[in-house]
Amino acid sequence: MRLHREEKINRIIQQQKEMLASGEKNGPVIKKSMQRMAVQSLIVFFTLMFVCTVISRVSLSITTASVSVSTLASGTLTERAFVEGRIQAAADRSIRLPEGLWVTAVNAQEGSQVNKGDPLLAFEVPSMEAQVKKLEEEIHILTLRIDLSESGGGNEVAAAQRALEDAQREYERLASKYVRSDTRLKEDYTKSEEKLAAAETEDDRAAAAVKQELIREAEAVVKEAEENLYSVREAAEDAIHAAEKELDEASENLDASKNAYQKLLEAYKQAESTLDAAKQAVSDIEKAIEEQEPGGDTDYTEELNAAKEELSKAQEEFTQAEKNLSDAEYKTSSYDSAAENLNAIKERWKTKTERAEASLNDANAALTAAKERTDFSDEAAVRQARAAIDAAKGTLNDVWREFEDNQYLAEEALYKAQRAVEAAQLALENAQQQAVMSQKERKITRLTCESELAEKEKLRDKLQEILNNGGYLSAPVSGTVLRTVEKGFRTKAGEEVVTLACNDKGFLFEGFLEEESARYFLAGDKGELMFRLDGSTQRSAAEISSIGMPDEEGKVFLTAVLQEGDYPAGMTAQLSLSKKSEIYHNCLPITALRSDSRGDHVLVIRKQNSVLGTEWVTARVDITVKDRDRQMMCVESALTYADQVITGSNKAITEGDRVRIGN
């Protein structure tokens, strides 16, 4: 195709050249051909673009998720629940009788309907008569106990009050007595303190004089020790200087001897090196002779003799050098002796100096001790002053001990008197409390006996009523027999013999509700009860009376009061509940809710421009669910009423995915 077009172009160019050569004007041949080619190229280009666009759109529709969307709207949430349960009588009535009664017949079985006055059970009459007699005796005893509880009380409180007043008067008498004794002893103690203060002043003066004398003596000893230390240090410096001079002279002699010995040592090493070289030369010649082939023409005799002669000379020089080195004197005995002498002199004078310093330190310590000394009890003047102080202290201590003894006796006596007052006070309070407690106990006894009396009179009247009815127990109200005993049963204390569901108290519905649904309903909410009776479905209004707490299985016990009517107690029924919320303005379908580790959120769609045009891309918006039912939810979020929230998708999608809105 390309070669064909090039041939056409070349042909057109050749025609134009011929036209120019002949003088003809340029025609529109090239222009029209170029236009046709441009038009063809544009047509091909747009055709390809159209095909690619179609393919892209088809591919996008296949790979992109199709979503359904919704926007925020106003509405109410409706919660519905169905509760399975049973119809029960609103109140049961149980009949209890004294123990020991023998049931001879059962006239009403469990589940049967009875009217007030219908016979329920028949009892053996002699046993009932014995029970009535026993109850009469117990009633008489309780009556006597009630009469005794009305009397009581005494004069214990008055006696305790008198004992308290006597104890308080004795306490006041003892307190006044010991106040007078304390006043006299305090005056004696003040005089003794004044005498002790005068004796202590005299002791301080004597101690000060002794201290001054001891300090003067110690200062003289310190001065003498300082002079001795100065003399010892001067003598030590002279002796050490002389020993150091002797050591310097020995050191100079040692250096000269060391230099001569070093030269002989170097001559010895040189002779040893020359001897080793001569030995090696003789060894090399002898090795060459051994390695020479038989019949060789080289003669090593002269060379070998010359080498041996050199070896002999080198041996003599080495021997002489070794002798010279051994005869050389390089000894440090004089230097060592001078050094030891210096060290001995230093050590000796160091010891003397240390002794002198120790003497000075001891003298200074004695002076410091004299200056800091506060105890001069071993000095004669101080001992005399201390004796006066001890005498004053003895007198003061005697007065103080007498004062303490008086205080102790006073405190002991007052403590006992106070304890007597407290004991009397406690006895009075106990008597008052005992009087109150006795009164309360008598009242409790009376009330208890009255309660037992009323109960036993009630049982007696009940048994008497049964005896008057020929030994038959009649139904106290109309209702359904929920429980009864069997023939031959002997009654036990506190055990029920018959339980009736009272029709006159109304009926209840009882059932269990799921915990998730229970949170939407409260006591007072109304519902509709449905049950089967005589082959047809019956309906009745009901109102929730109570809702319990969830059990381990997440079930909540619910009771509802039924409207007036006659219902079959114990029959299964279903309660239908429905409740609408208030009007919410931010509602969304529950299918829009998504949750992850970051919390609840929804996905909305946002427009985004690309090379393929405008696209829809998902974006995350966090929400808080305020309320919900099985279809809708009320949310708090940053959503606007223009936001399109994704409520469904034909594929799994996440934040940032491209989507398209389905039909």
pLDDT in tens, 63-120: 688 899 999 998 888 888 888 888 776 666 677 777 778 888 888 887 777 777 788 7
Residues of the chain with pLDDT below 50 are: 1-3, 29-30
d(C-alpha 479, C-alpha 507), whole Å: 11
What integer pLDDT is reported at residue 29 of this predicted model? 46
Q: Using the Cα atoms of residue 25, residue 29, residue 34 and residue 39 in order, give the sign of their dihedral.
A: positive
Phi/psi-derived region of residue 354, left when phi > 0, alpha when psi is between -120 and 50, beta in every other case: alpha
User: Taking Cα atoms as reference points, which of 619, 621, 174, 616 lies closest to residue 407?
Assistant: 174
User: In b/e form, how buried is each residue of 152-178, taking b as 16+ CB within 10 angstroms?
Assistant: eeeebbeebeebbeebeeebeebeeeb
Nearest-angstrom CA–CA distance, 213 and 320: 86
Output the pLDDT for position 296. 60
Question: Token pair 């979020």 is at which residue?
Answer: 637
Q: What is the pLDDT of residue 636?
A: 92
Q: Residue 154 phi/psi, 5° resolution?
A: -155, -165
Pairing mode, strands 584-589 and 73-75: antiparallel
Q: Any residues with CB less than 8 A from the CB of 623 and at least 6 apart, and which?
A: 593, 600, 601, 602, 635, 636, 637, 639
Residues paired with residue 499 on neighbouring β-strands, in sequence order: 94, 483
Q: Which of 553, 487, 473, 539 is nearest to 509 (CA)?
A: 539
Phi-psi domain of 603 (left: phi exceeds 0; alpha: psi -120 through 50; beta: other): beta
Whether 514 and 81 have beta carbons less than 8 Å apart is answered as yes
DSSP state of 100: T
Query: In the prediction, which pLDDT does 1 show?
Result: 42
Question: Residue 489's closest CA among 479, 477, 502, 498?
Answer: 498
In this prediction, residue 623 carries a pLDDT of: 94
Which strand (E) or helix (H) includes residue 345? helix 333-372
> 175 Cβ partners below 8 Å, 6+ apart?
414
CB 72 within 8 A of CB 587: yes
DSSP letter at 591 equals G
What are 435's two structure tokens? 């009087």
Separation CA 590–CA 642 (nearest Å): 19
Alpha-carbon distance of 531 to 568, in angstroms, equals 10
Q: Which residues, other chains included, contact 292 with Cβ-Cβ below 8 Å and sequence gap of 6+?
A: 298, 300
- Can you read off the two tokens belonging to residue 21? 């050569």
Is 69 in a helix, a strand, or coil?
A: strand
Q: Encoding tokens for residue 586?
A: 């931010």
